[in-house]
A and B are shown apart, each in its own frame.
Chain A
Amino acid sequence: MVVFDKPHALTDAPLHYCPGCTHGIVHRLVAEVIDELGIEGQTIGVAPVGCSVMAYNYFNCDMIEAAHGRAPAVATGVKRANPKENIVFTYQGDGDLASIGMAETVHAAARNENITIIFINNAIYGMTGGQMAPTSLPGQVTQTSPYGRDVNHCGYPIRVCELLSELEGPEYLARVTVNSVKNIKAAKAAIKKAFQNQIDGKGFSLVEVLSSCPTNWGMTPQKALKWIDEAMIPYYPLGVYKDRSAKEEAK
Chain B
Amino acid sequence: MAKLTFKTDLCKGCGLCVDACPKHLLRLSPDAINKKGHHPAELTDEAACVGCAFCATMCPDCVIKVER
Which A residues are within 8 Å of any B CB, using their own CB? 1-6, 10, 14-15, 17-25, 28, 180-181, 184-185, 214, 220-222, 225
Q: What per-residue 1/0 map shows which CB atoms of B37-68 lie under 8 Å from chain A?
A: 01000000000000101101111111011111
Task: Give 4 A-B pairs besides A2-B66, A25-B58 with Cβ atoms closer than 8 angstroms.
Answer: A20-B15, A21-B60, A23-B60, A181-B58
Report A-chain residues with C-beta under 8 Å of the C-beta of B9: 14
Q: Identify A20's interface contact among B12, B54, B64, B66, CB under 8 A.
A: B12
Q: What's the minimum C-beta distance from B64 to chain A, rounded to whole angstroms?
A: 7
Report B-chain residues with C-beta under 8 Å of the C-beta of A22: 60
Q: Give complex CA distance A108, B15 in Å.
A: 39
Q: What's the minimum C-beta distance from B23 to chain A, rounded to whole angstroms?
A: 14
Q: Kindly name the residue among B10, B19, B57, B60 whose own CB sees the greatest number of chain A CB atoms within 10 A.
A: B60
B20 at the interface (CB under 8 A from A): yes
Q: Assess the A20–B67 pair: CB atoms within 8 A.
A: no
B16 at the interface (CB under 8 A from A): yes
Report A-chain residues with C-beta under 8 Å of the C-beta of B65: 2, 4-6
Q: Assess the B15–A6 pair: CB atoms within 8 A.
A: no
Q: Assess the A20–B56 pair: CB atoms within 8 A.
A: no
Given A20-B14, A222-B16, A225-B16, A4 contacting B60 (CB threshold 8 A) = no
Q: Give complex CA distance A21, B14 in Å.
A: 9
Q: Kindly name the residue among B2, B15, B38 whose own CB sees the greatest number of chain A CB atoms within 10 A.
A: B15
Q: Give complex CA distance A20, B16 in Å.
A: 7
Q: Assess the A221–B68 pair: CB atoms within 8 A.
A: no
Q: Give complex CA distance A249, B60 in Å.
A: 37
Q: Kindly name the residue among A4, A10, A17, A28 whose own CB sees the greatest number of chain B CB atoms within 10 A.
A: A4
Q: What's the minimum C-beta distance from A26 to chain B, rounded to whole angstroms?
A: 9
Q: Give complex CA distance A15, B14 in Å.
A: 13
20 A-B contacts (beta carbon < 8 Å): A2-B65, A2-B66, A3-B51, A4-B57, A4-B65, A4-B66, A6-B62, A14-B9, A15-B60, A15-B61, A18-B12, A19-B13, A20-B16, A22-B60, A25-B58, A25-B59, A220-B15, A221-B16, A222-B15, A222-B19
